Amino acid sequence: MTTTEQTPATAAGEPAGTARGRRPLAALAGLLSAAVALGVAELAAGLIGPASSPVVAVGNSVIPLTPEPVKQFAIDTFGAQDKVALVVGTLVLVGIYAALLGLLSLRDRRMGIAGIALFGVVGAVAAATRPAGGILDAVPSVAGALAGCLALLALVRPLTLAVPGHAGAPAAEAPPAAPLERVRAALAGGDRKGGTLDRRRFFVTGGVAVGVAAAAGGGGRLLQRRFAVADERAAITLPRPASPAAPLPPGADLAAEVDGLTPLFTRNGDFYRVDTAITVPQIRPAEYRLELAGQFDRGRTWSLADLLDRDDLIERDITLTCVSNEVGGGLAGTARWLGVPLGAFLREHGIGRGSTQLVCRSSDGMTIGASTRAALETEDAMLAVGMNGEPLPVEHGFPVRMVIPGQYGYVSACKWLTRIEAGTYDDFDAYWTERDWAAEGPIKIASRIDTPAPLRRFPAGRRAIAGVAWAQTRGIAAVEVRVDDGEWTPAELSPQVDADLWRQWVLPYDFPAGRHTVTVRATGADGEVQTDERAAPFPAGSSGWHTVEVIAG
């Protein structure tokens, strides 16, 4: 920077302070330009498809690159809202980046333009290289970046009006400096002092930018709804099962009597959701295909109508569990599933004897490696098309997903399933295996205290301790509860319906006044007593007894 450039503005006859506030306005210019870029990108994505939106595409590419502990933290902290948290986090980072670009543009617009272009390239690459992506998917990012550049130029201009005859020449004409040096200087305050500031023009332009961003962004989101398959899903009538679920005995659901106890069946809207999809895949039922490839004697491609037309559909009550579930956590849910029996289906196509792993692919590029043996031998494993009497909800894999009782979701429950490749574990590492989760994931026996809630304060006296316990494919034989250092006491269990279904348990207890520790453990129908040895979810599922501290009186 030359000394002349540091001449105070007053030297040019400008009243001191005219240019004050230039830097916050420049940061604002950056933010508004980013808003225009993102809005225009959403509009273009409204024409091309929601997954081509740069926010979604970048977020989707960030998820697989995120270290497992961070992902686990996000799942634990935000639960089903983890995607919202990711999008908000992405937008905050974009905001900071954009504000910096605005500041840099004061010094040299080319830096701002280059910064936006870089952002456009990242979005374009992320969108075009996603599994179902193509070159057309780059358009929203490119269009957004162009619009963002125009907005930035228009907004920075009123902040850097040159004063005729003044020494504060635009940085473009300043003696050449190394790019890094220029960035450092710009951030350190070396903007174009000496220029004037047209606030009115800045705010008028800014207002236009806000309008464009809102209209394009809002319009884009509306247009993107065209891609939703909700109506087509609602129009599907599910066939009746050839083999209906076992009838429930009277009093099957203890939640009717016990406040705070998890219901036997989880409503679809309450069902936990774990996946890597920021925008849920929208598969048109008429366009759906399931391809069987690899070690099959008779590979074949199935349409949804053909699957629904089969005369061997089964209906079963199965509790699904996520490997990321912490001891006492809520990543488990029960539904009545309708689907094609998986073992029979695989045999019908002549699955190879040498196959150990089924690589299940979803339309969003996820790969889930299921054990061929588990798929063939687990009674009630299915290609599910229905959940609690409706077609699968879009978030839960519409139109077809896999369900294998007794296996954690990450090795069994591929949603939006479009391809099954029969092969071996040696051939291929599926998504989670690549990230060092165990290749096979049998569900560990578990029990959870739902009520009283941790650190709950309630009047001393009698109240129910209650919760659920699961050991899919084996069944739960007993649940015992211990308060403080007392004896293990057997709880009452909900009626045994199916080994794949969790069981509720209840133990009424007289709580003396004071602080108490309640612990639960389950015993499987195969005799396994739940271990108190603590294991974290990574890499093969959590173990240990669930304990809650409560205060009576």
Residue 409 interacting with Mo ion (CB under 5 A) = yes
Q: How far is the CB of 417 from ligand MTE (least distance, A)?
A: 7
How far, in Å, CA of 366 to CA of 430, rounded?
8
The piece of 108-116, 123-131, 146-154, 406-414 that touches Mo ion (CB under 5 A) is: 406-414
Please report how the helices 22-48 and 139-156 are oriented relative to each other, as an axis angle in degrees rounded to 10.
160
Residue 274 interacting with Mo ion (CB under 5 A) = yes
Q: DSSP letter string over 461-507?
A: EEEEEEEEEE-TTT-EEEEEEEETTS--EEPEEPPP--TTS-EEEEE
How far, in Å, CA of 55 to CA of 123, rounded?
7
CB 520 within 8 A of CB 511: no
Angle CA(370)–CA(376)–CA(380) in degrees, nearest 5?
95
The long-range contacts involving 175-178, CB below 8 angstroms and separated by at least 24 positions, are 175/2
Residue 518 interacting with ligand MTE (CB under 6 A) = no
Residue 322 interacting with Mo ion (CB under 5 A) = yes
Look at the alpha carbons of 482, 510, 468, 83 in this order and tell me if their dihedral is positive or negative: negative
413 binds, among Mo ion, ligand MTE, none (CB under 5 to 8 A by kind): ligand MTE
Amino acid at 447: S
In which residue are the tokens 């990230």 written?
A: 435
Tokens of 109: 């617009």
How far, in Å, CA of 142 to CA of 41, rounded?
8
How far, in Å, CA of 526 to CA of 523, rounded?
8
275 binds, among ligand MTE, Mo ion, none (CB under 5 to 8 A by kind): ligand MTE
**88 Cβ contact partners less than 8 Å away, ≥ 6 residues apart:** none
Look at the alpha carbons of 272, 278, 280, 283 in this order and tell me if their dihedral is positive or negative: negative
How far, in Å, CA of 303 to CA of 292, rounded?
12
Give the residue, chosen from 271, 302, 345, 410, that forms a contact with Mo ion under the rule CB under 5 A. 410
How far, in Å, CA of 45 to CA of 278, rounded?
15
Residue 341 interacting with Mo ion (CB under 5 A) = no
Give the residue, chosen from 71, 182, 415, 448, that forms a contact with ligand MTE under the rule CB under 6 A. 415
Residue 369 interacting with Mo ion (CB under 5 A) = no
Tokens of 193: 């002092």
Q: How far is the CB of 307 from ligand MTE (least distance, A)?
A: 18
Angle CA(117)–CA(120)–CA(126) in degrees, nearest 5?
145
How far, in Å, CA of 358 to CA of 292, rounded?
10
Toward ligand MTE, which CB reaches closer, 156 or 320? 320
Q: How far is the CB of 272 from ligand MTE (least distance, A)?
A: 5
Within 13 Å and on the Cβ side, how many CA atoms surround 296? 20
Residue 35 interacting with ligand MTE (CB under 6 A) = no
Give the residue, chosen from 272, 288, 302, 545, that forms a contact with ligand MTE under the rule CB under 6 A. 272
How far, in Å, CA of 341 to CA of 419, rounded?
16
382 binds, among Mo ion, ligand MTE, none (CB under 5 to 8 A by kind): none
Binders of ligand MTE among residues 320 to 379 (CB under 6 A) are 320, 322, 362, 364, 366, 368
The piece of 12-20, 33-41, 162-170, 270-278 that touches ligand MTE (CB under 6 A) is: 270-278
Site string for ligand MTE, 443-472 (x = CB under 6 A): ------------------------------
Q: How far is the CB of 431 from ligand MTE (least distance, A)?
A: 8
Toward Mo ion, which CB reaches closer, 323 or 477? 323
Q: How far is the CB of 188 from ligand MTE (least distance, A)?
A: 45
Binders of ligand MTE among residues 210 to 249 (CB under 6 A) are none
505 binds, among ligand MTE, Mo ion, none (CB under 5 to 8 A by kind): none
Residue 41 interacting with ligand MTE (CB under 6 A) = no
The piece of 7-15, 136-144, 271-279, 350-358 that touches ligand MTE (CB under 6 A) is: 271-279
Residue 421 interacting with ligand MTE (CB under 6 A) = no
Tokens of 292: 């069987």
The piece of 141-149, 181-189, 405-413, 540-548 that touches ligand MTE (CB under 6 A) is: 405-413
Toward ligand MTE, which CB reaches closer, 52 or 407? 407
Site string for ligand MTE, 380-399 (x = CB under 6 A): ----------------x---
How far, in Å, CA of 93 to CA of 114, rounded?
17
How far, in Å, CA of 45 to CA of 224, rounded?
7
Residue 333 interacting with Mo ion (CB under 5 A) = no
How far, in Å, CA of 157 to CA of 153, rounded?
6
Residue 285 interacting with Mo ion (CB under 5 A) = no
Binders of ligand MTE among residues 275 to 304 (CB under 6 A) are 275-276
The piece of 37-45, 206-214, 274-282, 419-427 that touches Mo ion (CB under 5 A) is: 274-282
How far, in Å, CA of 83 to CA of 54, rounded?
15
Residue 410 interacting with ligand MTE (CB under 6 A) = yes
- Residues of this chain that interact with ligand MTE (CB under 6 A) are 271-276, 320, 322, 362, 364, 366, 368, 396, 409-410, 413-416
- Residues of this chain that interact with Mo ion (CB under 5 A) are 274, 322-323, 409-410
